[in-house]
Structure 1
Amino acid sequence: MPKFKLEYIWLDGYTPVPNLRGKTQIKEFDSFPSLEDLPLWGFDGSSTRQAEGHSSDCVLKPVAVYPDSTRNNGALVMCEVLLPDGTPHPTNARATIPDDPDTWFGFEQEYFLVEDGLPLGFPKGGYPNPQGEYYCGVGFKNVGDVARQIVEEHLEICLDAGINHEGINAEVAKGQWEFQIFGKGSKKAADQIWIARYILNRLCESYGVDVEYHCKPITGDWNGSGMHANFSTKFMRETGGEEYFTKLMAAFEKNRDEHIAAYGPDNHLRLTGLHETQSIDQFSWGIADRGASIRVPHSFKNNGWKGYLEDRRPNSQGDPYQIASRILKTIEEVPTA
């Protein structure tokens, strides 16, 4: 019976941004294990800011499993953290998301690749040409060579794992990149964003490069990094209507502060109103308006105010579990009948 390397992956208790953690368990299975085959596994929560040393036991509960093509018989196991009594740990934001298979999310993850504290392509002690020519750029002067190799390898590993990538591209600033992930179900895309981040972080170890998820790592006239959240419910896709949309936007405006609190730290550095997306202290929506808080696609309005919406405020270091949970809590406030 083959031995499988199971990499149990979870989020620690650090704030305001949790870190990814992982440890490997070896188990024998006849074939690649299903989620139901995977056991709970304990860990020392006192080392991850999730428990005190005098009572340090925490529990990992597998919630999704993916093939890991970088290892023989490898598996990537996304986990929730539980207390010893089996209830969700206070740091377990995934457990706060309503489990709705008809809610769909798509996240656009931006990030910088950094070496020795500088984005790839930045000269020491200075700056490259202003942003603009790098977006979806090609050629060494725009994207270099190592970055392209990293993002292509990352894409292949994710696809091998069954991660539902929608695409990749170089972004507006030098050394900045993006990948997009879509999932049907209220938790699926968030699970896959975390696994994709884990794969990217681990891959960059071999290149001596770090991944910078901070939403504004370069001050000045450079775009920050976001994680735009595209979302829809069954009602939004199939019924919708202008009256419902108007009430939904009113709920988003009313809950502006709660959304900002859940959308990632330091967002005031990014949401200035100067580089796309509305200022952090205001709320607006607009048709195809990249300067709004909520961008409404032309297809949404033209289809009788039905379809998906894009919240442009979540930032690149935000927790997609918290983002999904906050969006759904606001949607639940708006009656559909």
Structure 2
Amino acid sequence: MGQTPDVGMEREMQELHMKACLYAGVNYAGHIREDGLSQWEYQIGPCKGVEIGDHLLVSRYLLYRVAEMMGVNVTMKPKPIKSYGSGGHLNFSTNKMREQGGIESIIKMYDPTFGAENAERLKESHWSPSMEFHAEIGDKWSSSVRIPSMVSVNGKGYLEDRRPPSNLDPYAASEALVRACILGEFLKQK
């Protein structure tokens, strides 16, 4: 994992990463320091379809380059240290989910799996969901799929799949969402 930088250096690195992403045209939505040792989260999006993969991979490349310039090592491992896990949460919606009454589509959603390598992150971790499918409104502590509280209040919006690992393949994850949500919905209608 390398030498642990101080918080000021971490913030400087995150700010440089954000600027590099914005300069490169990556849909960079924000960042926040997490609870884990030297753990930061950044959000990419909104993106349409598998375009998320392009933006995420470019952002990862830029993160590695900025870290290299600063003499810091970064990891995308889902379980870099015993106490904490790192997720690759996916916020997802369809037109139907964003329409009035879309909460019904969100609640009936899907159950894709994200592989055995992620199982280690999802057990005995701080703030990590279970591998078992479990959707809840507002629960970001144990649910595998979180429906944000404001989505419930508004009756429409998006869901957050909290199961994918931080080293997720964004194209495979996008495909899982499409298969489960869009194709699943289509097949239910037939």
Please indicate the TM-score interval, normalised by the length of the shorter structure.
0.7 to 0.9
Report the Cα offset of residue 200 of structure 1: 1.0
Is residue 2:184 matched to residue 1:333?
A: yes
Any stretches of 5+ residues in structure 1 without a counterpart? 1-113, 122-139
Judged with a 3 Å threshold, the aligned counterparts in structure 2 of structure 1 residues 260 and 184 are, in CA distance, closer, same or farther, namely closer
Equivalent residue runs for 1:251-262 within 5 Å: 251-252=110-111, 255=112, 259-261=113-115
Pick one of 273, 294, 301 that aligns with 2:152.
301
Pick one of 135, 153, 161 that aligns with 1:311.
161
Q: Which residue of 2 aligns with 1:289?
A: 139
What is the CA deviation profile of residues 157-189 of structure 1, one whole-angstrom value per residue up to 9, with x for unaligned ones? 111112121111211112111111112310222
d(CA) in 1 for partners of 2:108, 2:12: 46
Q: Is the 8 A contact 1:294 1:311 kept in 2?
A: yes
Aligned residue identity for 1:297: P
What is the CA deviation profile of residues 100-154 of structure 1, one whole-angstrom value per residue up to 9, with x for unaligned ones? xxxxxxxxxxxxxx42xx5x15xxxxxxxxxxxxxxxxxx5xx1x3322211111
Q: Which residue of 1 aligns with 2:89?
A: 228
Aligned residues: 186
Query: What TM-score do you get using the length of structure 1 for normalisation?
Result: 0.51
Report the Cα offset of residue 206 of structure 1: 2.1
Aligned-residue Cα RMSD (Å) equals: 2.0
Q: Which residue of 2 aligns with 1:62?
A: none
d(CA) in 2 for partners of 1:278, 1:202: 31
Equivalent residue runs for 1:148-159 within 5 Å: 148-159=11-22
Report the Cα offset of residue 277 of structure 1: 3.1
Q: Which residue of 1 aligns with 2:172?
A: 322
Is residue 2:99 matched to residue 1:238?
A: yes
Report the Cα offset of residue 303 of structure 1: 2.1
Is residue 2:67 matched to residue 1:210?
A: no
d(CA) in 2 for partners of 1:178, 1:242: 27
Aligned residue identity for 1:182: G
d(CA) in 2 for partners of 1:157, 1:246: 37
Q: Relative to total residues, which structure has the larger strand share, 1 or 2?
A: 1
3-state DSSP of counterpart to 1:180: strand
Q: Which residue of 2 aligns with 1:189?
A: 52
Q: Which residue of 2 aligns with 1:164?
A: 27
What is the CA deviation profile of residues 305-329 of structure 1, one whole-angstrom value per residue up to 9, with x for unaligned ones? x210000001111111110110110
What is the percentage of aligned positions where both structures have the same residue? 37
Q: State the structure with more CA Rg.
A: 1
Report the Cα offset of residue 243 of structure 1: 4.5
Q: Is the 8 A contact 2:50 2:171 kept in 1?
A: yes
Q: Relative to total residues, which structure has the larger helix share, 1 or 2?
A: 2
| Higher relative contact order structure (alpha carbons within 8 Å, sequence separation ≥ 6) | 2
Is residue 2:27 matched to residue 1:173?
A: no
Q: Is the 8 A contact 1:273 1:279 kept in 2?
A: no
Query: What TM-score do you get using the length of structure 2 for normalisation?
Result: 0.88
Judged with a 3 Å threshold, the aligned counterparts in structure 2 of structure 1 residues 283 and 204 are, in CA distance, closer, same or farther, namely same
